[in-house]
Amino acid sequence: MKKKAVIILSGGLDSATCMGVAQQVGYELYPLTFDYGQKHQHEIVHAKRIAQHYQVAEHRVVKLDFLNQLGGSALTDPSIEVPDYAGDDEVPVTYVPARNLIFLSLATAYAETVGAEKIFIGVSSVDYSGYPDCRPEFIASMSETIRLATKLGAEQGMLQIEAPLSHLSKEDTIRLGMELAVPYELTTSCYRGGDKACGTCDSCELRLKGFAEAGLVDPIPYV
């Protein structure tokens, strides 16, 4: 029987690359997508297309109304505008409180139910927006917490987080993805969530920079 992995799949470039990495390792893929009222709702459509591309057995989309109702982030709160890329050290207003903590916790429950031994998440601490829950020290601590929290972890030491992009720049992530034939034309990254990517938000900025540095052309349409 093939070993199983849960992949947190947003529809973006990084999580699509994780799908490619996990498939390459030989895992049966169980992507998990979260609908938390993000302005970039089209993410979910893209996540579905990516899941389809990889012919996964099951793709769950989990509605998280609570995170939406809490507000306080430019990504979910209509009253807060998504800013252009600033490039400073501050945690930006696009920060969603405890997002990766929540995603990984729900992925843990799912992994334990389907019997997966890994949870893949596409965080990077190199080219990123400065969110605390993307740092390697968070991922390491969370992995240990998951081991202690679960029956699978407590009894068999199984169930770990894999963050294969953790130390990769966007350029290196894209190079890796191209080698693995990740369908980047199916991905979406823009925080503003229009039909075409805006090209100026944090996320677009990092993506475009990555493709440029890799000497490649981003296959998705921009405004």
**Binding-site positions for ATP:** 9-19
Distance in angstroms (rounded) separating the CA atoms of residues 96 and 107: 17
Decide if residue 27 touches its own copies (CB under 8 A).
no
Q: Which stretch binds its own copies (CB under 8 A): 5-13, 14-22, 137-145, 212-220?
A: 137-145
Q: In sequence order, what are the beta bridge partners of 5?
A: 29, 118
Per CB under 8 A, which of residues 76..135 are in contact with its own copies?
Answer: 91, 95-102, 104-106, 108-110, 112-113, 132-133, 135
Cβ 97 to its own copies shortest distance, Å: 4
Q: Tell me, what amino acid is at 33?
A: T
Decide if residue 30 touches its own copies (CB under 8 A).
no
Distance in angstroms (rounded) separating the CA atoms of residues 32 and 105: 12
Q: Which helix (H) or strand (E) holds 8?
A: strand 4-8
Decide if residue 153 touches its own copies (CB under 8 A).
yes
Decide if residue 58 touches its own copies (CB under 8 A).
no
Decide if residue 214 touches its own copies (CB under 8 A).
no
Which residue spans within 99-194 are E strands per DSSP?
118-120, 160-162
Residue whose CB is less far from its own copies, 42 or 135: 135
Binding residues for Zn(2+): 190, 198, 201, 204
What's the DSSP call for residue 132?
G
Binding residues: 9-19, 190, 198, 201, 204
Decide if residue 211 touches its own copies (CB under 8 A).
no
Sheet (strand 4-8) strand order: 60-63, 28-35, 4-8, 118-120, 160-162
Burial (Cβ within 10 Å: 0-12, 13-18, ≥19) of residue 42: middle
Decide if residue 70 touches its own copies (CB under 8 A).
yes
Q: Tell me, what amino acid is at 148?
A: L
What SS3 class is residue 9?
coil
Binding site for its own copies (CB under 8 A): 60, 62-63, 65-67, 70-72, 91, 95-102, 104-106, 108-110, 112-113, 132-133, 135, 137-138, 141-142, 144-146, 148-151, 153-155
